[in-house]
Structure 1
Amino acid sequence: FPSGATLDRVAPDHPVALVRIDGHATWANSAALHAAGIERATRDPDGGLIARDARGDPTGLLVDTAQRLLHAVEPRPTDAQFDRAVRECLADCLAGGLTGIHEMGAELYALASYRRLLERGEFPFRNYVAVAARSKSTWEHYRERGPERLADGRLAIGALKLMADGALGSRGAALHEPYCDDPGNTGLVLMDGPEVERLTLDALGRGFQVCVHAIGDRANTLVLDAFERALARAPRPDHRLRIEHAQILTERDVPRFRHLGVLPSMQATHCTSDMAWAAERLGPERLRGAYAWRSLLATGVVIAGGSDFPVESPNPFHGIHAAVTRRPRTNDDHGWQPEQRMTREEAVRSFTTWNAFASRRERDLGSLEVGKQADVVVLSDDVFTCDEALIPEIRPVLTLVGGEIVYRASRIQADVYTTQP
């Protein structure tokens, strides 16, 4: 990993902090460490790591919860700046063919922005929100308030997001056995099993769904165990508990999703982004349970599909292509661990009907049926019949949310509207 000394050479006085693409590690210079009060005597927080040199001095690399030490001194955007960023993000999503998202880990300042935009008629989108448990003020607010659904479901606050471990790229994903390329390191547990169980019971009792980030096999076991204990104490037939990522699983844990009624929420492009180095981290034994879509589907569960953006592109056709081929968009080989691929129908369902089910919206979203919301994308090609290599090239021609046109391509091909006899 890089050190802060490299940043010091180009920014000796101005605090600089660069966040890894997955949000699980930050590279900071000496000025940023000083501003945050991070020094040799600073202890690693629970669930976090301050990387240190041979003398014990921080190198500038902060992993998982250690990043919060920097967050406390980072400048915050103004309301106007944040609102503008949200509008730009929504425009990108609509242009990419999304009519809505599931947002994991929103805090009060973001939700305030969404409300402002809704009031101004500038939120032409659907957002199913899981509020962040890491923000005590956010969870305390909604814990007392309960779930909310605003503007005909454009903004629905219905879940609690927990974090069980870190990420594979920064070696923070919690594993049962050490990393193959970092002996002695088994990753980071950000929330222990009893706390996951406690918050799960609390949230379910107040009408919220629970979504827990778990990437490593140890984290997934921890969360499944916590869910099992919670459901034994307070059985609920339709809880729809979710594990976000479910990225590396032991053979024993795969059928437990179905047995417990837990929904795996997975991101196919993580597989194609990680495949170049995942074997170095995990070794051949653990790879058999990595990104194991077919193994999970074979048990009878459904998989909620997504992108985890901004970690990956929000383009759903990139995700569908990755699910169907298990290869990068620039490659035409047979795919990585091709036995775990989804069919095209399964991949599309993971972004439509199965996602609607995963957010308790299957009665009004996810498919084109009488009585459901007219959330529609008109596409430049048929995702079911086009050459699979061309799936990532599919573009929306029109995007409608609630029957309203919210995106129109600047150049619409006439043949898109041609009705064949």
Structure 2
Amino acid sequence: MRFLQKVGVFILLLAWAIACSQEENGADAIFYNGQIYTVDANFTVAEAIVVEDETIIFVGATYDAMKFADSNTKQVDLQGKTVVPGLTDSHCHFLGIGKRAYYLNLDGSISLQDFLDRIRTEVEQKTDDDWIIGRGWIEEDWPEKKFPSSYDLDKISQTHPMLLTRADGHAIVANSKAIQLAGITHTTPDPAGGRIERDVKTGKATGIFIDNAIDLIRSIAPSDTTPDMVRKFALEAQKVSFQYGLTQLHDMGIEWPRVEILKEMYESGELKIRLQCYISDIGDNPDTLFKNGAEVGLYKNRLNIRGIKCYMDGALGSRGAALLKPYSDTGGSGLILTKENELYPLIREATEKGIQVATHAIGDRGNRLALDLYEKALQEIPADLRVNADPRHRIEHAQIVAPEDIPRFQALGIIPSMQPSHAIGDLHWAVRRLGKDRMLRGYAWRTLVDSGCILPGGSDAPVEEGNPMIEFYAATVRKDTTGFSTEDWHRDLRLSRKEALQMFTSWAAYSVFEENVRGNIEKGKLADFTVLEKDLMTCPEEELFKVGVEMTVVGGEIVYHK
């Protein structure tokens, strides 16, 4: 009898232990009652996502998802909202996004006078000799359609040095005080890959410095690279990114000392956003990366360092993009910023050592030269001698590409990384730079996709706003946000909504070797997703760029909630 009692107690304890074990094995979180676009191979639509240890363990119906719940499981009712894989900006400048909050913002200035009024207001808040530093002006948005000058700035102040960067980052205007401090005279030569704009009569600098000439002024301006400032910029950039629904950024052109500061911020838990860092090609940055090798999956896949950002040419707006034929409005064919004998050895070594190269190329000549260098490296180093048989080198922007060069991207495995909002901004004036005949070469998303390319989508923030909803709108509608377009905009080159969503999810993941890690809402992938207020697949096109973000989730954690 006593034996049977002991057996009974044992069975009860065993049942209790099993029940407790089952309860403890519940999932971390369940997100249910949503319209979930998984962006898997079949573009499946689901209702619920189950998360365990920052990873998706189930995608499907709400009823089935609830089987993973216990008393400790966090349950989030999505209330029928649209959910997409965590959005990625495949080309931006992380610290630059944060920097916008700390310097004079000239974005949206509608005339030269508006531009000058903003500067005047900033000067009034400064003490004598303080630098005035800002960014965001675009002269093509002004009635004057011409660059500002040191003469214009000197009317406001001749005691405050000024450095004001064009929105594209490829030109600045400086006042006479800054030019004087830099020691620039009419005899100062143009640096390689740069141009000092000069008065045609006097030879005196007008205040405009293009591409590599910018450093003549920037090198004497106050440094904003102190550890404290880098941390402030990073936290601000993360906050803005999460508000836009972004879960990962491809950061183009960061230097090693700043990467080390970001690592400290990941260690402390301050940074949660996922970053793909492309190291600047300046100085010994590439050599450090070649020596260290790629660093992948750091801080639970929050940080990857496996690429180098290079420059082939300048920008179209400042007439630095390298063209096969001269510009239609002023003559000249643009600038080559990095000589072939300097760039090719870097591309070759990267190809051999498993380092991805992302080369800025905007003009058709710039794109052709970049393709030529990639092709040469791939031919000289066979796949069996590469750390990565498929290096997935990228061309950043690929804005103007000759028709005969389009097939080369797919044939060589080169990824065109493109920013749709550039088109709806540039197309207002690009016809003046290029002429009608070359407009078909511009922002040719449809042509590239039809040729077999995948297109990771970005914003180039802070050049553009950085809102992926604007990018989605631009890619699918190819009109500006007022609904304006002309025949020169070639709207037939736009993408479908499914393709545009892939640009910022699965295609973005592939472009950084993460197609097996993220980019879709699938079992086994990282639990990154973005919850939207409206359905991107069905809402009217004129509402797309206004779609708000309800929630941003990274690794199953809600990092932003409206």
Q: TM-score band, normalised by the shorter chain?
A: over 0.9
Query: 1:384 is matched with which residue?
Result: 537
Higher mean displacement: 113-122 or 372-381: 113-122
Q: Secondary structure at the match of 1:152?
A: helix
Shift of 1:334: 7.9
Shift of 1:137: 3.0
Partner AA of 1:258 in structure 2? Q
Query: 2:198 is matched with which residue?
Result: 52
Distance 2:182 2:484 in 1: 47
- Structure 2 counterpart of 1:223, from 361, 370, 380: 370
Shift of 1:333: 5.8
* 2:258 corresponds to 1:113: no
Query: 1:418 is matched with which residue?
Result: none
- Structure 1 counterpart of 2:307, from 141, 147, 159: 159
Distance 1:281 1:334 in 2: 16
Shift of 1:408: 0.8
Query: 2:76 is matched with which residue?
Result: none
Q: How does 1:165-314 map to 2 (within 5 A)?
A: 165-183=313-331, 185-236=332-383, 237-314=389-466
Distance 1:206 1:234 in 2: 10
Query: How big is each residue's C-alpha offset from its partner over 1:269-321, in whole Å with a ceiling of 9 and x where there is no partner?
Result: 00000011000000111111100011111111111111011011111111010
Partner AA of 1:256 in structure 2? R
Query: How big is each residue's C-alpha offset from its partner over 1:338-360, in whole Å with a ceiling of 9 and x where there is no partner?
Result: 11010000000011000000011
Report the CA distance shift for 1:80/1:107 in structure 2 as closer, same or farther (over 3 A).
same
Query: 2:499 is matched with which residue?
Result: 346
* 2:227 corresponds to 1:74: no
- Structure 2 counterpart of 1:85, from 212, 219, 233: 233
Query: 1:6 is matched with which residue?
Result: 152
Shift of 1:51: 0.8
Distance 1:73 1:116 in 2: 28
Distance 2:476 2:486 in 1: 11
Query: How big is each residue's C-alpha offset from its partner over 1:241-271, in whole Å with a ceiling of 9 and x where there is no partner?
Result: 1000000011110111111111000000000
Query: 1:331 is matched with which residue?
Result: 483
Distance 1:81 1:89 in 2: 12
Distance 1:191 1:222 in 2: 11
Work out whether residues 204 and 239 of structure 1, in 8 Å CA contact, stay in contact via their aligned partners in 2. Answer: yes
Query: How big is each residue's C-alpha offset from its partner over 1:120-156, in whole Å with a ceiling of 9 and x where there is no partner?
Result: 21111001011010x2132222221111132012111
Q: Secondary structure at the match of 2:270?
A: coil
- Structure 2 counterpart of 1:321, from 449, 459, 473: 473
Distance 1:291 1:235 in 2: 32
Distance 1:196 1:137 in 2: 14
Q: Secondary structure at the match of 1:238?
A: coil
How big is the alpha-carbon RMSD for the aligned residues of Structure 1 and Structure 2? 1.3
Query: How big is each residue's C-alpha offset from its partner over 1:15-45, in whole Å with a ceiling of 9 and x where there is no partner?
Result: 1110001100010011111222221121100
Shift of 1:239: 1.4
| Number of residue pairs matched by the alignment | 407
Partner AA of 2:496 in structure 1? T
Report the CA distance shift for 1:334/1:179 in structure 2 as closer, same or farther (over 3 A).
closer
Q: Secondary structure at the match of 2:451?
A: coil
Report the CA distance shift for 1:138/1:290 in structure 2 as closer, same or farther (over 3 A).
same
- Structure 1 counterpart of 2:180, from 19, 25, 34: 34
Gaps of 5+ in 1: 410-421
Work out whether residues 63 and 170 of structure 1, in 8 Å CA contact, stay in contact via their aligned partners in 2. Answer: yes
Distance 1:291 1:332 in 2: 17
Shift of 1:84: 1.2
Partner AA of 1:361 in structure 2? E
* 2:515 corresponds to 1:367: no
Partner AA of 1:124 in structure 2? K
Distance 2:179 2:353 in 1: 40
Distance 1:303 1:35 in 2: 44
* 2:292 corresponds to 1:139: no
Query: 2:124 is matched with which residue?
Result: none
- Structure 2 counterpart of 1:128, from 276, 290, 302: 276
Partner AA of 2:239 in structure 1? A
Partner AA of 1:98 in structure 2? L
Work out whether residues 308 and 355 of structure 2, in 8 Å CA contact, stay in contact via their aligned partners in 1. Answer: yes
Gaps of 5+ in 2: 1-146, 384-388
Higher mean displacement: 100-109 or 239-248: 100-109
Query: 1:415 is matched with which residue?
Result: none
Query: 1:407 is matched with which residue?
Result: 560
Q: Secondary structure at the match of 1:378?
A: strand
Work out whether residues 194 and 226 of structure 1, in 8 Å CA contact, stay in contact via their aligned partners in 2. Answer: no
From the CA coordinates, give the structure whose radius of gyration is larger: 2
Partner AA of 2:150 in structure 1? G
Q: Secondary structure at the match of 2:284?
A: helix
Query: How big is each residue's C-alpha offset from its partner over 1:57-84, in whole Å with a ceiling of 9 and x where there is no partner?
Result: 1111100000111222121133222211
**Identity in percent:** 41
Distance 2:473 2:486 in 1: 13
Partner AA of 1:395 in structure 2? G
Query: How big is each residue's C-alpha offset from its partner over 1:206-257, in whole Å with a ceiling of 9 and x where there is no partner?
Result: 2210100000000001011111111110133411010000000111101111
Distance 2:361 2:238 in 1: 27
Q: Normalising by structure 1, what TM-score?
A: 0.94
Higher mean displacement: 367-376 or 200-209: 200-209
Distance 1:112 1:200 in 2: 24
Work out whether residues 174 and 218 of structure 1, in 8 Å CA contact, stay in contact via their aligned partners in 2. Answer: yes
Query: 2:252 is matched with which residue?
Result: 104
Partner AA of 1:22 in structure 2? D
Q: Secondary structure at the match of 1:288?
A: helix
Distance 2:485 2:162 in 1: 41
Shift of 1:87: 0.5
Work out whether residues 180 and 280 of structure 1, in 8 Å CA contact, stay in contact via their aligned partners in 2. Answer: yes
Q: Secondary structure at the match of 1:2?
A: coil
Work out whether residues 353 and 362 of structure 1, in 8 Å CA contact, stay in contact via their aligned partners in 2. Answer: yes
Q: Normalising by structure 2, what TM-score?
A: 0.71
Distance 1:6 1:274 in 2: 25
Work out whether residues 351 and 381 of structure 2, in 8 Å CA contact, stay in contact via their aligned partners in 1. Answer: no
Report the CA distance shift for 1:370/1:334 in structure 2 as closer, same or farther (over 3 A).
farther
Distance 1:168 1:332 in 2: 21
Work out whether residues 193 and 223 of structure 1, in 8 Å CA contact, stay in contact via their aligned partners in 2. Answer: no
Partner AA of 2:279 in structure 1? V
Higher mean displacement: 386-395 or 220-229: 386-395
Q: Secondary structure at the match of 2:441?
A: coil
Distance 1:42 1:276 in 2: 35
Work out whether residues 395 and 415 of structure 2, in 8 Å CA contact, stay in contact via their aligned partners in 1. Answer: yes
